[in-house]
Structures are given as C-alpha cells and as structure tokens.
Chain A
C-alpha cells in the first residue's frame, strides 16, 4: 500500500530556532499534501493544504509566516516552524492524497521547544 514517510519522528529545539519537518510519499505521487497539528488528548487540526508547485492554503488562524510550507516536488512537502516557541510544541502530522482519492498519513513528528 501507499507509504508516507515523515522525518524526523521527534525533535527538541531551543526557543527562537527553526525546525524543518519533511513529508515524503514513497511509492506514489502526491499533488496534494496536508499538514495537521495535534495537541495531547485532542483531535487533529488541519493547518494547511500543500499543493505541488504552488503556494500552500492555510486554515484560518494559522500564521503562514510562522509555518512555512514548501511542496517542491510530487513526493516531498516540508513544514518549517520558524522562530519556534514553547507554545509551538506539539505533534505534527502530514498526509498525502493519492491519485484515486485515498489519504495516507505519516507517522508524525513530536516537536518540543525548550
């Protein structure tokens, strides 16, 4: 089946630094990828929709200058958390939409900002 690889699985960074998270579709091309954020014991909240070759579409309340998304190829989307602060600590998850309409999720990235 379709596989989405997300890297890193966890990261600890200092406040004020930037962190990049990668999401790769390994055996299919994904024209559309999605980035979610999940706080403990809560549901996944959609942050943005990433389209290959174009600007990402951000959900209301998500700062596009804070969460930079790049979808440079059909198999890779990246999320960069810029000038991270402790309140950005969360579980970030990507998903990729397959050509036939299915969605596959990455394994998530646990970000801790200290």
Chain B
C-alpha cells in the first residue's frame, strides 16, 4: 500500500552543526507534505510544509526540499540546538481525502 517512510531511524549531531533528515514517499499523487516535531509525551508540532508545486521552502533555521522525481523530501535544520532533540516525522497529505499519513519517524539527538 501507499506509505511514507524514512531512511534513518536515528540521527546524532553535534550542537551547532546542520542536521538533515530524509524521507521517502511512494504516492506520486500526494501534493502536500509536512514536517512535524514531536517531543516525548506531546502531540506533533508543525515545523514547515511544502506543496508539490515547489521544490524548496525556507523557514526559521529550517528548510524543506522536495524532489518529486525520486519522491523524496528532506528537512534541514541549521545550527542545531539541544532544544531540537526530538522525533521528527514527515507526513503526506492526499488532496481530496485530506488524510495525513505519517512516516516512521527519526529521532534526532543533539550532543552538547
């Protein structure tokens, strides 16, 4: 079936370095993608989104890249901070169905 998955289950980076979290999706019809951050015991927190008519979008310290050719998106976090430590999920939304399907998640560890 359709799925959204992640290449790396865990990622450990040094404070101040840049982090890159990757995600693959399988439905070429998906047109809206979202990155969420989830801290332990809390609900997902929206980070940044991108629509399929774009290939890059920047936020504050975060950038999302979308490559529709290979069905891949990534989240780049600049100057990673200890507060960035969390699990990050990519999510895929189907137009019309409005459902948000989550990938497996990547745990980011930031070493001080």
Residues of A within 8 A of B (CB): 6, 32, 34, 36, 42-46, 49, 91, 93, 95, 97, 101-108, 110
* Contact indicator B43/A34 (Cβ below 8 Å): no
In the complex, the answer to whether A103 meets B42 with C-beta atoms within 8 Å is: no
User: Would A105 and B89 count as touching, CB distance under 8 A?
Assistant: no
Sort A-B residue pairs by CB-CB distance and give the 10 closest, nearest first: A105-B43, A108-B43, A44-B102, A107-B43, A43-B102, A105-B44, A93-B43, A43-B105, A43-B104, A106-B43
Cβ < 8 Å to A, chain B residues 30-71: 32, 34, 36, 41-46, 49
Q: Is the CB of A95 within 8 A of B98?
A: no
Contact A32 B101 (CB under 8 A): no
What is the bound-complex CA distance between A107 and B45, given in angstroms? 9
In the complex, chain A residues whose CB is within 8 Å of the CB of B41: 91, 108, 110
Inside 8 A of A32's CB, which chain B residues have their CB? Answer: 98
A34 and B46 form a contact (CB under 8 A): no
A32 to B98, CA, bound (A): 9
Could you tell me which B residues sit within 8 Å of A by CB distance? 32, 34, 36, 41-46, 49, 89, 93, 97-105
Given the complex, which residues of A lie within 8 Å of B103, measured CB to CB? Answer: 43
A6 to B36, alpha carbons, bound, how many Å?
18
Chain B residue at minimal CB-CB distance from A105: B43
Given the complex, which residues of A lie within 8 Å of B43, measured CB to CB?
6, 93, 95, 105-108
Shortest Cβ distance from A5 into chain B, in angstroms?
11
Which residues of chain B come closer than 8 Å to A6, judged between CB atoms? 43
- Cα A47 to Cα B26 in complex, Å, equals 20
Enumerate 18 A-B pairs (CB-CB under 8 Å) in ascending A order.
Answer: A32-B98, A36-B102, A42-B105, A43-B104, A43-B105, A45-B102, A46-B99, A46-B101, A46-B102, A95-B43, A95-B44, A101-B32, A102-B46, A103-B34, A103-B93, A104-B46, A105-B43, A110-B41
Cα separation A97 to B93 with both chains bound (whole Å) = 11
- Nearest chain-B residue to A36 (Cβ)? B102
